[in-house]
Structure 1
Amino acid sequence: MSHLKTIEQRLLWLSHWMIHNANHLRPKEDGIKVGGHQASSASMVSIMTALYFHTLRPEDRVAVKPHASPIFHAIQYLMGNQTREKMEAFRGYGGVQSYPSRTKDIDDVDFSTGSVGLGVGITSFASIVQDYIAAKDWGGIPLGRMVALVGDAELDEGNVYEALQEGWKNDLRNTWWIIDYNRQSLDGVVHEGLFARIEKIFDAFGWDVVRVKYGALQRAAFKEPGGERLRAWIDTCPNQLYSALTFQGGAVWRKHLMDDLGDQGEVTALIDRRSDTELAALMENLGGNCVATMAEAFDAIDHDRPVCFLAYTIKGWGTPIAGHKDNHGGLMNKTQFAAWQQHMGVPEGQEWEPLATVKDAKALQTFLDQAPFFANGRRRYSDAVIPVPEIALSADREMSTQAGFGKILDDLSKGDSDLAARIVTTSPDVTGTTNLGPWVNRRKLFARAPRADLFKERQIPSTAKWEFTPDGQHIELGIAEMNLFLLLGAAGLSHSLFGKRLLPIGTVYDPFVARGLDALNYACYQDARFMIVGTPSGVTLAPEGGAHQSISSPLIGMSQDGLAAFEPAFVDELAVIMEWAFAYMQRDGEGDPDERTWLRDETGGSVYLRLTTNPIEQPVKRHDDAFVQGAIDGAYWLRKPGPNCEVVLAYQGAVAPEVVKAAGMIAEARRDVGVLAVTSADRLNAGWTAAQRARADGNKAARSHVETLFDPLPRDCRIVTAIDGHPATLAWLGAVKGHQTFSHGVEHFGQTGTIMDLYRHFRLDAASLAKTALA
């Protein structure tokens, strides 16, 4: 354990020096505080030392508490996986990130963190994904523990409890949540007795709860005469008082304890045997601040049930700001830090030396070299790209894009392609109503142990065949969109985390994309790869009213980084897009822009499909290159404009029939009318802005897809846009070439009625579009 104690002190120093350097020594262009959470890092240092250098194995994965990022980077620096240059630039441009990031840090980050609570929840879903892969006949993978280092204030986040419930339903195992129970947050001290209630929640969902309250010094003191009375005092001491006494130090500890416990007998003798410094060390020796105690607690777990460790800690432990109620965002000032540096024994000029102050550096380096967790080097895996078979679907009748999506998946489910075998679907209790039913009936639901469909056994007719099996390819979820996106995020990282590629597809009612938006953004920030299908969208669920009608989701699709958003009107477009999407989800190139579109398609990403339940008449079969490539790039001419075009009608999504009808209504009054079918305002806009940046940087030949499409248009041509969503989605088209633009869409909550009632209400019907075009 001596090596662990040495490492603990080195990590405490390196993390705090990095923060101090960024705030007080590094030149600044402005006077704004850089920050870095010294106190939140200090409370985690013993826990992370025991975990990384004693307990973890290469197959384990860890989500680090956001505010413990400095400790994580210090660990990687100590192991040679992080550079001094980036450490010196902490929270600066090109430096180590404020919070661990899979995509922006060079060290071995398993799960990005930042938005609190999400890094906690994703570990449970990663464990479910690990079990899903292990159940398949794809070659064995070593089962690791999915570990979350959790700030106690993160337990205020509701998504943590949603994840607990989902874990229980899916027989969760191999998951550890280690709670840094320092009882202080940004705005105050944790309420007394709160965790007693939280503990009951963990217990209800089948977790083992391990309280790690007392360190080795305290446990030894409790065995001395009078020790039980000291223990009882610690157990009943209010959180605020314990923090305040910690900050005030040994002399104040002594006075308070003597006032409360002094009896001129055993307890007095116990206290008197220790100097002020020793007494302070004893009282601050909580379990989470004792590396030996944490190692023992981890070693004691010999099963795969989920475990919650409640590790009692002192916020700011080992520093001059320990226990102060303002220490969450506070920093040691220069005077405090200089005194602390002397206390830590770090010579001036050796602040960045990883093993400064270590007496036997060779022995410690040998210990570090043998740490099991780091034995295999960087733990980023990969898997082969899965070939995508041709996906063709056309209809000679009316069909909705949602029905088309279900038909495409059903066709895939009937085959034996490698692609179909790697698809995993999930949905927050809307599997049937989002057209996943046929896929699930054929491919079944996943569970580690088989569960029969009782309705089938009793010969009760049903369209749904809910049979659970280890071979199943659908993971059932309750009504929690945050869980949906956390699961998609975990499954979308399976190639990197576990070396086996999955192609996750999630469906959700489109208006409720917003309910999981934080987790969607989090999954994209991780660079997870998945397909999310939002359906029904817009006002097409007209009888359901405004609560089930989406307005802003097209703008979400446009603005979300790492997500290519599409809204096809016809099922042949959908087939083309889905075939492209399965390949796009697997790309990981360097991302040089394609000069044909100026889209960074080589990097790949996730895909969002916005679909509807409104059946519309399908066009004749189309296979020409302009249509296929246009559907992928974001737009194509459904009706090419003539040389004297006066009006272009541009649409996205299921309002296509109204736009086509409007074009016919104005054909005699306006010359050479064009109809632009936009399948992805997101990709059109991204290519246009990228080409603008390229021209600003000197590449005068840069031309985006939408600019090429608009080249034939006369300067005085007018554009009328239509979308069953926010009109701003397409309003920018007028800026491409400076055309006057009038945008139709939905800006306010809807109401009940028929689809045509609402189209007329929001001026999306053919008559309203024609009126604008003729005005």
Structure 2
Amino acid sequence: MSIIDDRRIAERHVDLTALRAIEHKVRWIAASMIDAANSPARRDPAGLKVGGHQASSASIATIMTTLWFAELTRLDRVSVKPHASPVLHAINFLLGELEPEDMATLRQFGGLQSYPSRSKDRDTVDYSTGSVGIGATAPIWGAIAHRYAADASGQRRPPGRQFSLVGDAELDEGAVWEALLDPMVADLGEVVWIVDFNRQSLDRVVPNISGTRLQSMFHAAGWQVIEAKYGVALTEAFKRAGGEALKRRIEQMTNGEYQRMLRCDAQELRRRLPGDGEGAATIRRLLDGYDDDRVCELVGGLAGHDVEALIGAFAQIDESRPTVIFAYTIKGHGLANAGHPQNHSNLLTPADMRELAARSGESIEDPWRRFDEGSDAGALVRDVADRLRRDETAPAPRAVVPAEFARLIRGTSSTQQALGRLLMDLARTSPDTARRVVTVAPDVASSTNLGGWVNKVGVWSSTNKTDWFADDAETILHWKEQPGGQHIELGIAEGNLVGLLGELGATWSRWGEPLLPIGTLYDPFVTRALEPWSFGVYSGGQSILVGTPSGITLAAEGGAHQSIITPSIGIEQPGVVSLEPAFAQDFEWLMLEALSRLGHSGGSGSYFRLSSRPIDQARAEVPEDPDARERRRRHVLAGAYVLRGDATARLALVGMGAVMPEVLDAAERLDREGIPNRVVCVTSADRLYRAVRARRGLPADDADGSIIDAVFRGTDALVAVLDGHPHTLDFLGGAVGAASVVLGTTEFGQSGHLDDVYAAAGIGSRHIRDAAKDLLARP
């Protein structure tokens, strides 16, 4: 089928004249928003550039206008390329979501954001973007989350498509190809990507970009590939005498040469375009049949700026598999800087803006003028506003999560083992809440102790699949894939894990279906997933990330698998509480509280750093008295508690996570030497740091500032230790007003027995004792 199909256009009842009028107004408003942001009245007193991306916005204005006003339904969701934020706001303004006074607030504090933001913009933004490649892939994870939420609530497969508007330079990002290659993606027929293929990047015209090569990569991943290359004018020209030669000439010239043609006037085009090869004479004769204005329009007549060609491309979408449309465009289309290699952040001059206003029939003095109500364009805008208007997502009831399971934890176990046990206990004691839990792993479910949970709840798949090992007596992990499963297994790509985790954590606000998502990965690979994880949190995703196992406590695994900086990362990540329990009981209290913070307005995510080190749980000395036990639980949640020792001792030995046995051993040895001490178990350096800020009257997310005095009152010497960078706990000494030493890991580790690697890092029991004695010996 031809991309330009009059029958399809007629079927969709599209008023092409009105659509083109809207396209011109959208381009004008987007350019005016950026112009206003950089006006003298908005000049930053510090001299910083405000900026904006007029050329990038103009590049995609036709695509977005056609998509919104001729294709979308209220059930569809769209991720908009970061630099097209003004186009999105211009469209939302025409649809009545913004007022004229909003339009001059782009990049202003409290105004419209530089890049589309679900959490900070006041108009409809389906997906936050701005981190290149990550916003592009978000609709893939949104589609999976949408399907999962429907299955979890017993609904039929949800309607609605997931569009992603991608700048072609974003295809350089590895995150894009990691996402495309996950086995689940090939089944997502609701996913549609539209590539704004302008063949320019931030600094230059991309010299060797190949649409054919990129398209073949999508095709190999199982996607439908649609090429929207030439608009109506060029398509018709190709049918004339000399047209085949013209087409061959355009397709054989380099990207750089073609982009240079866009900067030529008509006379120079007539000289350059025919070239000097075979067919040049016929091309000259063909061009002689066009006036100067038409010659210039002809060369830039790409499908990405032709509403008819785009409607035809949209009509070809096959919803049985994901689709990508390569829409050829010109960066800066319709602006004075169209096609210029340095137009990415270039701003139009006042003269350029006046010329654009005159050509668009707009007013410099009244840039936010809407269409007259009686006009055809105004009628189309009203119809589309009604068609796209969504009902507000009704807040769903919060999950009722128990505060604890009220049992004694005995024996020897690790916090990693406690994770699997807690999920099984939750399913047994609170089945309604457990049904909201969804676990996700990048091919590490069994090695992060989710095996029992997976056996119980099954693996989620959009269709029932055969488990060919179900009758194998030696198979311990049963991989039953079905729509009702509660575990999602991804390939080995941590970026995909946290991308999906963020979208699963947003279903409460996006679809009204709150989930309790938990993702597990090896802790050293948190840094690999850091940017998309952080961006998911910024976008409103609420989930729990479990890094396990962690630290040099992995011992025999060696430096490649031993994390060092992750405790500090956890403290510094907004929207997330970082937690590192030492004992299974502490983990239970913390995890249940973390689950209760998910899936509702005002909620937040959590990051757990767990260990595979078995620890005697009797050493936790959990009080049996109900009141004392509850006090312990409150302190655990607040960030720290006194585990044992003399509560009035001036020396505090402070441990966090897997090193607590060494801290306790050091404390007992010091007791025998007549050196009184108290042992403090830190469960969250993050919450302690927030408590310090709260005591100082600084923003601290409702932290309990009293925990510092409750645990550290009277301390004037403090030795802290953790299996991670000592920077994590370095604030404690100053907060408590005590002389302090913090022991931790600052170098890459190596393989060995636990005692050996702890000794090499200086975090063994002897090192703790020596540090305490040196501290007490100071004058």
TM-score normalized by the length of structure 2: 0.92
Task: Choose from 47, 59, 78 the match for 2:94.
Answer: 78
Partner of 1:705: 706
Q: How many Å separate the matches in 1 of 2:555 and 2:387?
A: 56
Q: How many Å separate the matches in 2 of 1:432 and 1:296?
A: 48
Q: How many Å separate the matches in 2 of 1:415 and 1:639?
A: 32
Partner of 1:596: none
Q: How many Å separate the matches in 2 of 1:740 and 1:695?
A: 26
Partner of 1:512: 525
Deviation, 1:632, is: 1.1
- How do residues 176-575 of structure 1 correspond to structure 2 at under 5 angstroms? 176-192=192-208, 194-258=210-274, 260=276, 267-355=283-371, 361-371=374-384, 375-377=388-390, 380=393, 382-392=395-405, 394-414=408-428, 417-457=431-471, 459-575=472-588
Q: How many Å separate the matches in 1 of 2:706 and 2:252?
A: 69
Deviation, 1:263, is: 7.5
Question: 1:669·1:774 contact (CA, 8 Å) conserved in 2?
Answer: no
Partner of 1:108: 124
Between 286-295 and 662-671, report the one with greater CA deviation: 662-671
3-state SS in 1 of match to 2:39: helix
Question: 1:427·1:506 contact (CA, 8 Å) conserved in 2?
Answer: yes
Are 2:771 and 1:766 equivalent residues in the alignment?
Answer: no
Q: How many Å separate the matches in 2 of 1:469 and 1:695?
A: 45
Deviation, 1:661, is: 1.5
3-state SS in 2 of match to 1:404: helix
User: Alpha carbons of 1:80 and 1:691: their partners in 2 closer, same or farther (altered >3 Å)?
Assistant: farther
Q: How many Å separate the matches in 2 of 1:576 and 1:725?
A: 23
3-state SS in 2 of match to 1:94: coil
Task: Choose from 1, 20, 32 the match for 1:17.
Answer: 32
- How do residues 133-172 of structure 1 correspond to structure 2 at under 5 angstroms? 133-140=149-156, 142-168=158-184, 171-172=187-188
| Residue type of the alignment partner of 1:209 | V
Deviation, 1:148, is: 0.6
Task: Choose from 14, 18, 41 the match for 1:3.
Answer: 18
Deviation, 1:449, is: 2.0
Q: How many Å separate the matches in 1 of 2:744 and 2:656?
A: 10
Give the unaligned 5+ runs of structure 2: 1-15, 775-779
Partner of 1:600: none
| Residue type of the alignment partner of 1:678 | V
3-state SS in 1 of match to 2:234: helix
| Residue type of the alignment partner of 2:654 | A
Partner of 1:677: 681
Q: How many Å separate the matches in 1 of 2:282 and 2:474?
A: 77
User: Alpha carbons of 1:707 and 1:361: their partners in 2 closer, same or farther (altered >3 Å)?
Assistant: farther
3-state SS in 2 of match to 1:310: strand
C-alpha distance after superposition, 1:394-413 (max 9, x if no partner): 42211100011111112234
Q: How many Å separate the matches in 1 of 2:645 and 2:606?
A: 28
Between 102-111 and 660-669, report the one with greater CA deviation: 660-669
3-state SS in 2 of match to 1:506: strand
| Residue type of the alignment partner of 1:20 | D
| Residue type of the alignment partner of 1:708 | D
User: Alpha carbons of 1:361 and 1:34: their partners in 2 closer, same or farther (altered >3 Å)?
Assistant: farther
Between 571-580 and 258-267, report the one with greater CA deviation: 258-267
Q: How many Å separate the matches in 1 of 2:431 and 2:257?
A: 64
3-state SS in 2 of match to 1:124: helix
Partner of 1:36: 52
Question: 1:184·1:325 contact (CA, 8 Å) conserved in 2?
Answer: yes
Tell me how many residue pairs correspond in the alignment.
750
3-state SS in 2 of match to 1:26: helix
Deviation, 1:186, is: 1.3
| Residue type of the alignment partner of 1:429 | D
Task: Choose from 648, 662, 666 the match for 1:662.
Answer: 666
Deviation, 1:362, is: 4.3
Question: 1:141·1:498 contact (CA, 8 Å) conserved in 2?
Answer: no
Partner of 2:5: none
Q: How many Å separate the matches in 1 of 2:318 and 2:386?
A: 18
Q: How many Å separate the matches in 2 of 1:146 and 1:297?
A: 16
C-alpha distance after superposition, 1:662-684 (max 9, x if no partner): 11222255665222111001111
Q: How many Å separate the matches in 2 of 1:102 and 1:381?
A: 17
Q: How many Å separate the matches in 2 of 1:180 and 1:112?
A: 18
Deviation, 1:337, is: 2.2
Give the unaligned 5+ runs of structure 1: 589-602
3-state SS in 1 of match to 2:552: coil
Q: How many Å separate the matches in 2 of 1:486 and 1:678?
A: 30
Percent identity between matched residues is: 38
Q: How many Å separate the matches in 1 of 2:683 and 2:105?
A: 42
3-state SS in 2 of match to 1:351: coil
Are 2:27 and 1:49 equivalent residues in the alignment?
Answer: no
Q: How many Å separate the matches in 2 of 1:39 and 1:684?
A: 47
Question: 1:16·1:38 contact (CA, 8 Å) conserved in 2?
Answer: yes
Q: How many Å separate the matches in 1 of 2:19 and 2:735?
A: 61
| Residue type of the alignment partner of 1:646 | R
TM-score normalized by the length of structure 1: 0.93
User: Alpha carbons of 1:274 and 1:314: their partners in 2 closer, same or farther (altered >3 Å)?
Assistant: same
Deviation, 1:741, is: 1.0
Question: 1:646·1:670 contact (CA, 8 Å) conserved in 2?
Answer: no
C-alpha distance after superposition, 1:294-320 (max 9, x if no partner): 122112325331000000000100001
Partner of 1:637: 642
3-state SS in 1 of match to 2:38: helix
Q: How many Å separate the matches in 2 of 1:433 and 1:23?
A: 53
| Residue type of the alignment partner of 2:537 | C
Partner of 2:692: 688
Partner of 1:647: 651
Between 332-341 and 197-206, report the one with greater CA deviation: 332-341
Deviation, 1:228, is: 2.2
Deviation, 1:687, is: 2.9
Deviation, 1:613, is: 0.5
C-alpha distance after superposition, 1:418-471 (max 9, x if no partner): 2111111111111111000100011111112222221223x3411111111111
Question: 1:251·1:276 contact (CA, 8 Å) conserved in 2?
Answer: yes
Q: How many Å separate the matches in 2 of 1:73 and 1:417?
A: 44
Deviation, 1:703, is: 7.4
User: Alpha carbons of 1:471 and 1:348: their partners in 2 closer, same or farther (altered >3 Å)?
Assistant: closer
3-state SS in 2 of match to 1:62: strand
Between 438-447 and 266-275, report the one with greater CA deviation: 266-275
| Residue type of the alignment partner of 1:201 | M
User: Alpha carbons of 1:563 and 1:292: their partners in 2 closer, same or farther (altered >3 Å)?
Assistant: same
User: Alpha carbons of 1:652 and 1:702: their partners in 2 closer, same or farther (altered >3 Å)?
Assistant: closer
Q: How many Å separate the matches in 1 of 2:167 and 2:230?
A: 19
Q: How many Å separate the matches in 2 of 1:418 and 1:377?
A: 29
3-state SS in 2 of match to 1:325: coil
User: Alpha carbons of 1:461 and 1:169: their partners in 2 closer, same or farther (altered >3 Å)?
Assistant: farther
3-state SS in 1 of match to 2:116: coil
Q: How many Å separate the matches in 1 of 2:279 and 2:754?
A: 82
Q: How many Å separate the matches in 1 of 2:711 and 2:553?
A: 30
User: Alpha carbons of 1:84 and 1:712: their partners in 2 closer, same or farther (altered >3 Å)?
Assistant: same
